[in-house]
Amino acid sequence: MSDAWHCTPVLSGDQRLEVLNLLNRTEAELGREALDEGRRRIVVHGWPGEHWLRYDDEHVLTDYAVVNGIKHVTIEMCGGGFDADLLAEVLERHDGIDWWTRGPSRGGLGHSIRALLLLSLRLPVPVVAVPEGATLRNFEPGRDEDEWIAQNNAAFADHPEQGAWSRVDLDERTNEPWFDPSGFLLLEIDGRLAASCWTKVHELHPDRFGEIYVVSVHPDFQGHGLGRVMVTQGLASLRKKGVNDAVLFVDESNTDARKLYESLGFRLEREDRLLHFSR
């Protein structure tokens, strides 16, 4: 039956290529990512999950969505949209679902439980010097994984995603083709990892923009302006690679981080919302 959603736990080889082609076409049309990086990796690597597909009358894939998570079951459609028919299907399998929507607000849908802001900035920006006595260096694979995870998770202890990194999570990303340790900066003070800024260059995007991927300061070192130091040093690292524009994501509720980014010149590009639905 065409124009109906179908679910599969594993994408076949042909389905995986169909989904990747759909993601690529959507990204070309929208000029942005079609799916969250983590969920896109599920497709790229052919990992099992709850994959939802919809075809037209000629059996051409027109829509795709993926459900993941255990404690917090989350869904995202290719392109960041919403579909009432899919919601009905998903709620037959789950008591409740969190749905990521990207872009324009969809008022009246579900219960908004989180907003993620995409901010953008034109480079360069003034760089804040590394404090006297501190050491800024690049992340070294095989040496820094465990210490970085401990520092980052301590900084984001109350964050639903950033505070739960595991070695597997980190290894998955550092093994990706885009990973470049020269853009992963660590700040050491008195022999301890005090802060970090991990940047990413979107090499395959037509605009080749940069991203502040993860930035964090250990709680023991917060309140001393290290966030500004690390963000500006990360932006300088991107600029040295010929990047003209940078982006980052920040939770709407994180007022301190938003003030820092706005003071550096970041401006709102897009607002994504996580909506909760239940039976």
- Verify that 45 and 82 share a domain, yes or no: yes
Q: What is the CA 13 to chain-centroid distance, rounded? A: 26
Residue 277 lies in a domain: no
Quote the pLDDT of residue 31.
86
- Verify that 237 and 124 share a domain, yes or no: yes
Q: How confident is the model at residue 107 (pLDDT cuts 50, 70, 90)?
A: low
Whole-number Cα distances in Å, 218 to 154, 170, 196: 6, 18, 9
Residue 115 lies in a domain: no
Residue 279 lies in a domain: no
Quote the pLDDT of residue 69.
86
- Verify that 144 and 87 share a domain, yes or no: no
Residue 151 lies in a domain: yes
- Verify that 23 and 141 share a domain, yes or no: no
Residue 110 lies in a domain: no
> In terms of C-beta density within 10 A (0-12 exposed, 13-18 middle, 19 or more buried), how is residue 226 classed?
buried
- Verify that 36 and 157 share a domain, yes or no: no
| Non-local CB neighbours of 67 within 8 Å, separated by 6+ positions | 49, 50, 52, 73, 74, 75, 90, 94, 97
- Verify that 160 and 186 share a domain, yes or no: yes
* Tens digits of residue pLDDT in 168-207: 999 999 999 999 999 999 999 999 999 999 999 999 888 9
- Verify that 74 and 174 share a domain, yes or no: no
Residue 251 lies in a domain: yes
Q: Tell me how many domains the chain contains.
A: 2
Statement: residue 2 has pLDDT above 90: no
Q: How far apart are CA 44 and CA 19, in angstroms?
A: 9
Q: How confident is the model at residue 163 (pLDDT cuts 50, 70, 90)?
A: low
Q: How far apart are CA 221 and CA 219, in angstroms?
A: 5
* Tens digits of residue pLDDT in 199-230: 999 998 889 999 999 999 999 999 999 999 99
- Verify that 68 and 171 share a domain, yes or no: no
Average pLDDT over residues 109-115: 89
Residue 111 lies in a domain: no
Top-confidence residue, 158 or 83: 83
- Verify that 89 and 139 share a domain, yes or no: no
Q: How confident is the model at residue 160 (pLDDT cuts 50, 70, 90)?
A: low
Quote the pLDDT of residue 1.
44
Quote the pLDDT of residue 71.
77
Query: Which amino acid is residue 76, in one-letter code?
Result: E
* Tens digits of residue pLDDT in 67-106: 998 778 999 999 999 999 999 999 999 999 999 999 876 6
In contact, 274 and 116? CB cutoff 8 Å: yes
Q: Which of 102, 137, 155 is the last residue of a domain?
A: 102
| Sheet strands (E) in 32-183 | 50-55, 61-68, 74-77, 96-102, 111-122, 135-138
- Verify that 96 and 124 share a domain, yes or no: no
> Which of 172, 170, 252 minimizes the C-alpha distance to 214?
170
Output the domain CATH number for residue 152: 3.40.630.30
What proportion of the chain, given as a percentage, has pLDDT over 90? 87
pTM: 0.91
Quote the pLDDT of residue 162.
73
Residue range of the domain that includes 98: 5-102
The residues with which 135 forms a beta bridge, in sequence order, are 188
- Verify that 241 and 154 share a domain, yes or no: yes
- Verify that 55 and 90 share a domain, yes or no: yes
Mean pLDDT over each residue of the chain, to the nearest integer: 94
Residue 113 lies in a domain: no
Q: Which range has the worst mean pLDDT, 30-34, 47-51, 85-89? A: 30-34
Q: How far apart are CA 167 and CA 235, in angstroms?
A: 26
Q: How far apart are CA 140 and CA 138, in angstroms?
A: 6
In contact, 277 and 87? CB cutoff 8 Å: yes
Residue whose tokens read 């990086």: 37
